[in-house]
Amino acid sequence: MQVRTLLKVSVAVAVATIVMKMLAWWVTGSVGLLSDAMESFVNLAAALFAILMVTIAARPADEDHPFGHGKAEYFSSGFEGLLIVGAALGIVWAALHRFADPQPLQSLDWGLGLAIVSSALNGVLGWRMLVTARAQRSVALEADARHLFTDVWTSVGVVAGLLLVPLTGWLWLDPLLAIGVALNIVREGVRLAWRSVDGLMDTAVEPEVRAQIDRTLAQFAHATIRFDHVVTRRAGQRRFVDLHMHMPAGWTLGRAAALRTDVEQALMSEVPGLRASIQLLPSDVEAHFGDEKDLL
């Protein structure tokens, strides 16, 4: 299933879970279930924004964006992180008011049943999204999937805690659970926002991808051919590698270019979505980086 299709399914599931969780809150009066429902509103907004960013990221390179639009997905991850933190503040506000005025809970069987069903929907969808995100290297889809898993664990905690309220008579346990939910989703929100910032700073490719690149280059290296200054970066689903390939100075330009083409094709075949840029240099020529004059 494609990334955009899964995000559209995520929108539909978010609407369904909002209805079920709001109904669960309405029949029980539990501020813990209200906090769970508020997080589902975040799921809906995040999925809609993710669809927009994935659509932009899929656009081909153009004159103004020669390296493509892949980084748009990082904005989705950051936006979702900020939404999560905002939802957490709303949850804390509602919980503090309930601490001051504890209320008995009603119809817990119906409310908890609805919460469990909605969590099961989120769990199944989150698992499917995470599998697809890893296969297609979609930052936006992975962020949405991880948030759904956070929502599932949040619901599990709320349900478990609310089962204790009638057993113990501790009405303050309900708002305490809501604050616990808030703290948990703040942690997830900060993590998502940091990942977004980190991605926008041109981080290197994943270690396993770098290992694939190194293994491919090793297949072409020998006494007269060597590679150096290998630099990588990632932008959403795209991966980039720049490097120097040294060869005998006596080679013709055609022979050197043919070998470079073979290396580029091998790299792009080994790492789907990789864009390779190789500079040809004679064996006795070295390129220098990091000199003070280069920084002026």
CA distances 124 to 81, 83, 93, 128, Å, are: 22, 23, 31, 6
pLDDT in tens, 140-155: 677 777 777 777 776 7
- Pick the closest to residue 80 from 178, 151, 31 (CA basis): 151
- Pick the closest to residue 112 from 18, 27, 179, 232 (CA basis): 27
pLDDT in tens, 154-204: 677 677 767 777 777 777 776 777 777 777 777 767 776 776 676 666 678
Please work out, in degrees rounded to the nearest 5, the angle formed at the alpha carbon of residue 56 by the alpha carbons of 50 and 60.
Answer: 145
Strand partners, 238: 235
Taken in order of first residue, the domains within the chain and their CATH numbers are 3-200 (1.20.1510.10), 207-295 (3.30.70.1350)
pLDDT in tens, 69-118: 766 766 766 776 777 777 777 767 766 766 666 666 666 677 778 778 88
| Under 8 Å between Cβ of 147 and 80 | yes
pTM: 0.54
Q: Show the tokens assigned to 120.
A: 């099961």
pLDDT at residue 103 in the model = 62
Please name the residues in contact with 19: beta carbons below 8 A apart, sequence gap of 6 or more.
none
CA–CA dist 244, 282 (Å, integer): 10
**For the chain, first and last CA: distance in Å?**
49
CA–CA dist 130, 254 (Å, integer): 45
pLDDT in tens, 15-26: 888 888 888 878
